[in-house]
């Protein structure tokens, strides 16, 4: 490998055996040296969870031809932390996460293990991006998501980006001929309206399954939800300074304790 070769850390939240991570590896392999560190089991909805109370396991796996790959017993965030400290012993040039089986647009970013893994790398100052495909199925056709992942990753590797740059990219389910391109967006003001499915176990005791319906209250045409509905892949630049500066200013002038 040439001294200029980029090191690309690949992770996800669906687990190392999910078709989406294989698609992502194929998409970015031509761009540098790929190292995979991903959960050994599905970790959807884990948000930015880390493992504190139990120790972590890390095992090398041989499932991607010619690619160094590890599976970890922890969360997506644990994978990124371990990758840097115990496998790479340096910061990778980029961290790519996904390709997630299912959407992570709008408020879903908060719950997403895919995006939390990418955010963890971004906090470390590593340019990072999460990719999610709006097709949940195991045998989804990843042709378009792979093209988008390749294009965005290549662009990021060859651009001057501020430290901590983080992108949330979602890809619509659309025929190649109908694809509108990649659009820079803001996070839509949309959310889940949840109800719990209440059931009784064989002993008569209640238990609950989370269910929900997605509601978009945002009519803007610059949101990720709008872009996806109009056959664009959405790219939202993401920050992790959660300070609400406008409200801060208001409180400073109006609130006394």
> Would you list which residues are annotated within the binding site for a divalent metal cation?
13-14, 44, 100
Please state the separation of Cα 159 from the chain's center in Å.
20
What is the token pair recorded at 219?
A: 């009519």
CB of 67 to a second copy, least distance (A): 22
Between 5 and 220, whose beta carbon lies closer to a second copy?
220
What is the token pair recorded at 253?
A: 């002038």
| Length, in residues, of the chain | 257
Between 8 and 169, whose beta carbon lies closer to a second copy?
169
CB of 255 to a second copy, least distance (A): 7
Between 93 and 124, whose beta carbon lies closer to a second copy?
124
Which residues are documented as binding site? Answer: 13-14, 44, 100
Helix (H, G, I), strand (E, B) or coil at 131: strand
CB of 248 to a second copy, least distance (A): 5
Distance in angstroms (rounded) separating the CA atoms of residues 16 and 141: 18
Containing 72, the helix (H) or strand (E) segment is strand 68-72
Between 178 and 241, whose beta carbon lies closer to a second copy?
241
Strand order in the sheet with 7-11: 58-61, 68-72, 33-39, 7-11, 94-101, 128-133, 166-171
Region of 98 on the Ramachandran plot (φ > 0 left; ψ -120 to 50 alpha; else beta): left
CB of 179 to a second copy, least distance (A): 11
């Amino acid at each position: 490998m040439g001294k200029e070769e980029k090191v690309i850390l690949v992770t996800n939240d669906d687990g190392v055996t999910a078709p989406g991570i294989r698609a992502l590896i194929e998409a970015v392999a031509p761009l540098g040296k790929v190292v995979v560190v991903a959960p050994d089991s599905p970790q959807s909805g884990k948000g930015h969870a880390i493992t504190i109370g139990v120790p972590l396991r890390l095992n090398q796996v041989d499932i991607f031809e010619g690619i160094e790959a590890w599976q970890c017993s922890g969360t997506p965030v644990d994978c990124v932390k371990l990758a840097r400290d115990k496998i790479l012993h340096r910061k990778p040039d980029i961290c790519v996460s996904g390709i997630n089986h299912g959407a992570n647009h709008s408020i879903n970013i908060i719950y997403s293990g895919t995006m939390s893994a990418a955010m963890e790398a971004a906090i470390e100052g590593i340019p990072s991006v999460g990719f999610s495909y709006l097709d949940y199925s195991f045998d989804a056709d990843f042709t378009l998501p792979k093209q988008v992942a390749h294009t965005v990753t290549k662009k990021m590797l060859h651009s001057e980006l501020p430290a901590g740059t983080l992108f949330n990219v979602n890809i619509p389910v659309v025929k190649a001929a109908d694809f509108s391109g990649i659009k820079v967006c803001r996070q839509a003001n949309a959310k889940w309206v949840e109800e719990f499915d209440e059931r009784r176990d064989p002993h008569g005791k209640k238990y609950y399954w989370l269910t929900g319906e997605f509601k978009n209250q945002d009519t803007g045409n610059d949101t990720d939800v709008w872009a996806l509905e109009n056959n664009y892949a959405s790219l939202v630049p993401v920050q992790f300074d959660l300070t609400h500066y406008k409200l801060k200013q208001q409180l400073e002038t109006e609130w006394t304790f």
